[in-house]
Amino acid sequence: MPRRIEPFASGSLSLLRQEAGLTQARLAAEVGVSARQIANYEQGCHSPSPHRLRRLAQVLKTSPQVLAGVPAGEESLADLRRFAGLDRVEAVGLLARRLPEGPAGATEWKLQALEAGQPVSAWLDAALLETVMSALADIYGVPLGSVRRSWFRAFPGQAHLLRPGRRVTGRTDSTRPAPAAETWHDLNRRQRAYLAACFREDQHAETAARRRRAAGQDPGPAAQWRRLPFTVKADPAFTGHTGIQERLRAEGWHDAGAGATLHALARRGLLQVSEDQVEVFPLGFVPRVVVELTRSGRACARAGLGESPPRRPPGDLLSRWLWGVLIRVAEAGFGGLPEDALWGRAKFYLGTGYRPGKALSRGYIDCLPGREGDAEQSHGRPYRWVLTDSGRAHITQNAEAYQELYADVPAGRAVECARENQIRTDE
């Protein structure tokens, strides 16, 4: 493997040395190298070893990352090792103590391959990979998330292994009332009616957001559309009644005592009450009371109304919406799906890279130059969405589970295309 040139900000070293009032000779004496070596560092001729990089940072009262000139959050696996002051042999020695012996054990070649961007086949098991990343985080003295991000940048196709799956928990003891049911039991009739009305309006807003997303529109963050107007402090002749008020009026609970009831529910942590302003013609801006159900509030309402929470796919399976999008890409076959054929945020949750908020995506699809035509330059071909190796594996390995989970979503053709795509890729 070719030797990787380690990043080093030579200009930062010179500037920090001058700010510290040190000559090259004095800094060299503190670090344990010759003055000529410091000059080589500052001229960009040499890059310091991990030990000397760490020592330089200590003397200049800065961090190895600043001297290396690597922006925070963009460190490679090799950078994390260098910033810890470890050469590859030392890192492998520490890593070997934390991994099992045999084919899955640590070797210098494996660590060198990782830092060069070459996957190690012995570490492609999700559980073992988690062990390797946790060990590296411990050895390098960084959060596990830092190692996870650096690993993903080097191996975006392993996103399905890097994402921690949801645990499938067992059922709770049915003889013991759930806390949500106990809370509902403690509410009086008026409080239950108000909580139920807020819950119905909350579910209505959630359904509307889901429909917009399915239509390729961005409904905005949940923190925005879950904020529900309760009342506008103006004459109803100008403002009318809000959705929650209409529900309460239908049940005979809409009267002047709403404020006390809302705050009683807020004290129990079932909803949040706030106030903003809204423009009403011809009155101008008038105050408005807004409520937002908490998770505890939704759970309490479901328990009291006898409704089950939405069924979530077990483990790391996709939602119905994302599974449908993945099927569309798979059914497009080897040629892929046009770039503009995916709407909304599905491409961020399934694509190779990071979704909004810097959360790790799944890496099941990627947008690459199309294969049709004879144009040699990638910019001469339209980009298309295609399955990655991870996406093909996810479809073929979980097809039966999805069939049971979403029986009304046909996926047979997608599975066939994924397998054919895999065969052509191997060839």
Given a cut of 80, whether residue 327 has pLDDT beyond it is: yes
229's tokens: 């107007």
Give percent above pLDDT 70 in the chain: 86
Q: How many CB atoms lie within 10 A of CB 263?
A: 12
Give the dihedral sign, CA 195/196/199/200.
negative
**pLDDT, average across residues 272-296:** 90
Domain count, the chain: 3
Give the confidence band of 229 by pLDDT, cuts at 50, 70, 90: very high
Please tell me whether residues 288 and 354 are part of one structural domain.
no
Four-point Cα dihedral 83, 85, 90, 91, nearest 10: -20
Q: What are the pLDDT digits (tens) for 98-139?
A: 888 888 888 999 999 999 888 888 888 888 888 999 999 999
Given a cut of 60, whether residue 378 has pLDDT beyond it is: no
292's tokens: 């937002």
**CA 363 to mean position of chain CA atoms:** 12
Q: For residue 5, is it within any domain?
A: no
pTM for this prediction: 0.51
Give the confidence band of 155 by pLDDT, cuts at 50, 70, 90: confident
Q: What are the pLDDT digits (tens) for 351-375?
A: 887 776 667 788 899 888 876 554 4
Given a cut of 90, whether residue 265 has pLDDT beyond it is: yes
The DSSP call for residue 255 is S
Please tell me whether residues 126 and 192 are part of one structural domain.
no
Q: Looking at 278, 305, 332, which one is the last position of a domain? A: 305
Please tell me whether residues 245 and 139 are part of one structural domain.
no
Q: For residue 170, is it within any domain?
A: no
142's tokens: 């960084």
Q: Looking at 162, 195, 229, which one is the last position of a domain? A: 162
**pLDDT, average across residues 177-188:** 84
Exposed / middle / buried, residue 392 (Cβ in 10 Å: 0-12, 13-18, 19+): buried
Please tell me whether residues 230 and 196 are part of one structural domain.
yes
Given a cut of 50, whether residue 242 has pLDDT beyond it is: yes
Q: For residue 389, is it within any domain?
A: yes
* Residue range(s) defining the domain that contains residue 281: 179-305
| CATH at 49 | 1.10.260.40
In the numeric block, the tokens 């403002």 are attached to: 239
**CA 279 to mean position of chain CA atoms:** 37
pLDDT at 316: 75
Given a cut of 90, whether residue 90 has pLDDT beyond it is: yes
Please tell me whether residues 285 and 385 are part of one structural domain.
no
CB 387 within 8 A of CB 420: no
Q: For residue 114, is it within any domain?
A: yes
pLDDT at 302: 93
Question: Of residues 272 and 161, which shows the higher confidence score?
Answer: 272
